Amino acid sequence: MKVEETKINGVKILTPSIHNDSRGSFFETFKSTVFSSYGLPNIFPQDNQVRSKHNVLRGLHYQLNQPQGKLVQVIVGSILDVAVDIRVGSPTFGKYHAEEISAKNKKIFYIPEGFAHGYVVISEFSIVLYKCTNVYDPEDEYGIKWDDPDLNIKWGISLPILNDKDDNLPYLQDQKCLPSY
């Protein structure tokens, strides 16, 4: 597995070693010993799977008391996945990294705890699978509006499909609860 650093400390792109033969292909998406050797978490107590249609935007979400690092992969379709550093005091506070991940490129995106996370579906539909470093607590859910002008995220879409909750999230500057660096 190839592990690439991004410009934001802790956010990583993982590209598995793919083994192809006449039957198809095989690759490891998670191996605790490999993850430990790269300083990545190796315990993920929750897995989630999400199916969405084209132009659906989910996020930007984060948890504060039970923060979730996320290991995201796409098993059908493609998404533009975004991690935003919201750790107060971080040298990259308010910066983001966006990465296209897809069933075709097989990249895996690691977003550490202390980051807001969201994605938009750029294929006809997608199935996204992600592991979390903590279990989800609905009482500990926060979010940032997807089109925050201070973040200026290049989503590649102007009219996403949103749920009411995501459409009414506050901007980063209006957040009252953020993690520390």
pLDDT profile of the chain (181 residues), mean per 10: 96 96 95 95 97 98 97 98 98 98 98 98 98 96 97 96 97 96 94
- Could you tell me the pTM of the whole model? 0.95
Q: Is 54 a catalytic site residue? A: no
Task: For residue 99, give Cα distances in angstroms to 21, 122, 126.
Answer: 28, 12, 15
Question: Residue 149, class by beta-carbon neighbours within 10 Å (0-12 exposed, 13-18 middle, 19+ buried)?
Answer: exposed
User: Side-chain half-sphere of 90: how many Cα atoms within 13 Å?
Assistant: 21
- The beta-strand segments (E) located in 45-95 are 46-53, 57-63, 70-76, 78-85
Q: What is the pLDDT of residue 176?
A: 92
CB neighbourhood size of 92 (10 A): 17
Which pLDDT belongs to residue 127?
Answer: 98
Q: Which of 96, 110, 119, 130 is catalytic?
A: 130
- Cis amide leading into 60 (omega within 30): yes
Q: What is the pLDDT of residues 88-106, one digit of tens each?
A: 999 999 999 999 999 999 9
**Residues, the chain:** 181
pLDDT confidence of residue 79: 98
> Is 61 annotated as catalytic?
yes
Catalytic hit among 61, 62, 96, 119: 61
Main-chain dihedrals φ then ψ at residue 140, nearest 5 degrees: -120, 30
What pLDDT shows up at residue 35? 95
Tell me, what's the pLDDT at 68?
97
Element (H, E) at 166: helix 164-167
